[in-house]
Homo-oligomer: A and B are copies of this chain.
Amino acid sequence: MGSSSVNDPNIMEEGGQQLDHVIGDRNVAERSRMLLNAPQPPGLCSEFVSSVKDIVNLPNGNKSYSGEKKKPELKQHVGTVLRGLFPILSWGRIYTLSKFKSDLMSGLTLASLSIPQSIGYANLAKLDPQYGLYTNVVPPLIYALMGSSREIAIGPVAVVSLLLSSMVQKIVDPVEDPTGYKRFVFTVTLFAGTFQAAFGLLRLGFLIDFLSHSAIVGFMGGAAIVIGLQQLKGLLGFTHFTNNTDVISVVRAVWRSFHDPWSPHNFILGCSFLIFILFARFLGRRNKKLFWLPAIAPLISVILSTLIVYLTRADKHGVRIVKHINKGLNPSSAKELQFSGPNVGEAAKTGLICAIIALTEAIAVGRSFAAIKGYHIDGNKEMVAIGFTNILGSLTSCYVATGSFSRTAVNFSAGCQTAISNVVMALTVILALEFLTRLLYYTPTAILASIILSALPGLIDINGARNIYRIDKYDFLACFGTFLGVLFASVEIGLLIAVTISFSRIILNSIRPGINNLGQLPGTNNFCSTSQFPMAIKIPGVLILRVESSYLGFANANYIRERILKWVTEEQENEESKENARTLQVLVLDMSNVLNIDTSGIHALEELHKELVSLDLQLAIASPTWKVMHKMKISKYMDIIGSGWIFLTVSEAVDACIGSKMVISLPC
């Protein structure tokens, strides 16, 4: 039905006649005909199909990494798929001894940082210390097989540990029911891994884009402060602390704890080693050759403080220590997963949120280091890799692992070449689990707290926030809102604020679009906004307005119509007050920005036309886009305003008005 009117000879004829009458220029008429005879734009169904195809066929950055092209043979095809799933099959064949040397060094450096950090993160996740170490064994090994980033360091991270404990402890109390808590955490890990792998396999990589960069800056900043406040418990050696993560609860808990008896030894020990770690980092930054110093400082702190406690028996004097760490490799946790009971839905929800945050961090980390080395990371592939990492992790007593900001930077500056550095790190952690757990018995918890505290400044990106503020105030609102939400409410509320503010921007943009008055740029045929180009000259008798919205529809059609009418009446009043003889004759509506229109939009245009007729004004439409043109045709709107009043450009519309002597030409 729609397409029949497109080629309706009557409309064309009438259009042509009117055009000749008005303009008398065959050339313009011909161009107008091009506009009228455009092919039909793709419909909803074909758009949906092409969008799905798009998702499935997005450029696969990993191909350039493997350096292979698809070949039709089955064997070759299987090879390609396998190499796609396990990039190690590609780069493993060109792996050299010199690369291994670099990877060995960086792997060992990484391990020296990972061991104390992961014990601290397990503490933050309210798990026993060995679970942090376990999470540093299986996930890095799996990722080395499946991942495509060469620098990323996989393992437990601060933000996910915090998120996990803050969400899970609302459902299972880690003190009253430690086994149930542990089982729930493994179940959450399995769900998180499954969601991540599913996102990757279904090519839903764009989902993580919904957390905008600015929201992540705010989220990370807020989370860093919350994590830092949680460390006060370890640093000050408190026994009673709050389970809430918001600033107010924590400050209140700290205040209350000061009234209980507490030992200052913890604080002195923790602070002195914190200063040592920070000083080591300062030295490492000043002198690039000392890059290993900040990486190894945490391990040195652990060794020294453990020795001090062991020799002075300070644990008898109120210094809190790690105590028992289970010896041996990761036990299987397959039987601990729970798929029945009332909390499975909660586990899935927690898993989803952890999955998204973990992916966001991993992909941001992976991409930024890949950009430095000049290769591309395919988000969907990374999701699959991280997903399987966590699925297998959940079966081997690991909790949610992802790429860590701080350790990846250490890995990079230690000169890692491939994911083998992760393997080296995992093997070192295995050795530590076998032989060193008894030595860690006397490690003071204050040292773990100070190691975590020292890693936090990297999460607070003040420069990034300042940059966001400078470039885009609304983005800063999202950033700051998320920050405050995480700080004063909870991690989930912060995320909710982030998504809400980000999406409300898209919606606000659509429901309150701008309308701009256009004028001719001197010496050109271009018509530009008079606010952007104050030198643009208005054409007397013609009001040219541009609708600044990509969508003219239910949410804004009425508003746009009223704004246009307001502009018209103001212009008329203006002319009357000037006692200007040349009154307004034509309204040219530049629709070049309107990419789509719906039935409400068409209806508003119809009403606008009626109202303009009652004001004795002619409506001309300039540069309608493809879909708008098509819908104006099938809705017969074009018959209402006359197809001779539709122009390819604003300048042609103005020429037509001047040519038809409706308005007086301006000498320019």
Residues of A within 8 A of B (CB): 1-2, 27, 31, 34, 38-39, 41, 43-45, 51, 54, 58-59, 206, 209-215, 371, 374, 376, 379, 467-468, 470-475, 477, 502-503, 505-507, 509-514, 521, 523-526, 528-529, 531-535, 548-551, 553-559, 562-563, 565-566, 569, 592-593, 595-600, 602-603, 607, 610-611, 614, 625-626, 629, 631, 634-635, 648-649
Contacts and interface: CB of A to CB of B under 8 A. Distances in A.
B506 A551 contact: yes
Contacts of A505: 553, 598
Contact of A209 (B38, B213, B559, B565): B559
A213 B471 contact: no
Given A524-B31, A533-B34, A214 B599 contact: yes
B554 A210 contact: yes
Question: Within the oligomer, what is the number of copies of this chain?
Answer: 2
B523 A27 contact: yes
Contacts of A648: 521, 524, 526, 528
Nearest to A569: B59
Given A506-B507, A595-B593, A212 B553 contact: yes
A59 B566 contact: yes
Nearest to A55: B512
A213 B554 contact: yes
A634 B467 CA distance: 9
Contacts of A611: 376
A538 to B, nearest CB: 16
Contacts of A45: 473
A370 to B, nearest CB: 11
B212 A554 contact: yes
A510 to B, nearest CB: 5
A43 B477 CA distance: 13
A135 to B, nearest CB: 29
22 contacts: A34-B533, A39-B532, A44-B473, A59-B569, A209-B600, A213-B554, A214-B598, A214-B599, A467-B599, A472-B599, A475-B598, A475-B599, A475-B600, A506-B551, A506-B553, A509-B596, A510-B510, A513-B550, A514-B595, A524-B648, A550-B550, A550-B551
A562 B58 contact: yes
Contact of A593 (B472, B506, B509, B592): B592
B474 A559 contact: no
Nearest to A632: B471
Nearest to A1: B470
Interface centre among A58, A510, A553, A565 (most CB of B within 10 A): A553
A577 to B, nearest CB: 14
Contacts of A558: 206, 209, 379
B502 A555 contact: yes
A637 to B, nearest CB: 9
Contacts of A371: 607, 610
Contacts of A470: 1-2, 634-635
A54 B562 CA distance: 11
Contacts of A51: 512
Contact of A626 (B39, B532, B614, B634): B532
A601 to B, nearest CB: 9
Contacts of A565: 59
B471 A534 contact: no
B474 A555 contact: no
A645 B510 CA distance: 30
